[in-house]
Amino acid sequence: MSRIKELFEKKNKRILNVYFTAGFPNLEDTSILMEALQENGVDLIELGMPYSDPLADGPVIQESSLAALQNGMTIKKLFEQLASMRDKIHVPVVLMGYMNTVMQYGFEKFCSDASLVGIDGLILPDLPPFEFEKMYGAIVAKYNLDFVFLVTPETSEERVKKLDNLSSGFLYAVSSSSTTGKDKKFNDITEYLVRLQSYQLKNPILVGFGIRDKATFDSVQAHSNGAIIGSAFIQALSTSKNIKLTTADFIQGVLN
């Protein structure tokens, strides 16, 4: 059983998935942050692979990506950092990024190396479902990786069900069709989440984009399995003088 599936079987509600950009604030902070997130109760870690043109991301994550690239972060460097990850990290870890970066590395080599270091799944927002189904899905499955598609309030029922069928691990419910980091009126998305629930999807639902604190985290719990925080955490890291303490304070502020 995959680590992601095992997580959702053990804990079906209030899952906290936290995103941060690998190589930010400093090149060698990746492992430190992963351990700090795990120690403070994060259920799942979403590790961003920096890219110069991250289409789905707002300015906070874009800036962290550019900083990480300037720090010298590459996919090769990231896999080197993650080589002994499973000695200490037991929570599921997914990689989030863009196809250009993965294709430059080589798609099958990327999946193979990701699996080898203990990565559990992939989120590649610009990989079209048709191409995944016809070309890439079999490679992802070959290396026992989960693959997560994103849906939005504008996604039709037919397409939601199609993406749910192609996904494994969980389905990423984007709270609106804007980029990450935007403020959302979360009372406006209840209807959307109720609608997703009514489709009786096979995958758990995690809500992302605009989740930033305890109030927004709590607000989506009634109609989802949990939520994803990214920009707000990176914002906290960007002004941090001690990333371990910042991480502890941030996560405890969300969960307690």
**Boundaries of every domain in the chain:** 3-255
pLDDT category at 116 given cuts 50, 70, 90 is very high
pLDDT category at 179 given cuts 50, 70, 90 is very low
Tens of pLDDT, residue by residue over 43-54, are: 999 999 998 875
pLDDT category at 56 given cuts 50, 70, 90 is low
In the chain, what percentage of residues exceed pLDDT 90?
89
Instruction: Answer yes or no: 46 catalytic.
Output: yes
Selecting among 46, 113, 146, 164, the annotated active-site residue is 46
Q: Is the pTM of this model over 0.75?
A: yes
Q: Measuring CA to CA, which residue among 183, 193, 5 is closest to residue 94?
A: 5
pLDDT of residue 58: 78
Distance in Å from the first CA to the final CA of the chain: 30
Instruction: Answer yes or no: 213 catalytic.
Output: no
**Would you identify the CATH topology of the domain 3-255?**
TIM Barrel (3.20.20)
pLDDT of residue 52: 82
Average pLDDT of the chain is 94
Segments in 55-208 forming alpha helices (H): 59-71, 75-81, 99-105, 107-117, 129-131, 137-142, 157-166, 190-198
Selecting among 29, 57, 120, 164, the annotated active-site residue is 57
Distance CA 143, CA 157 (A): 30
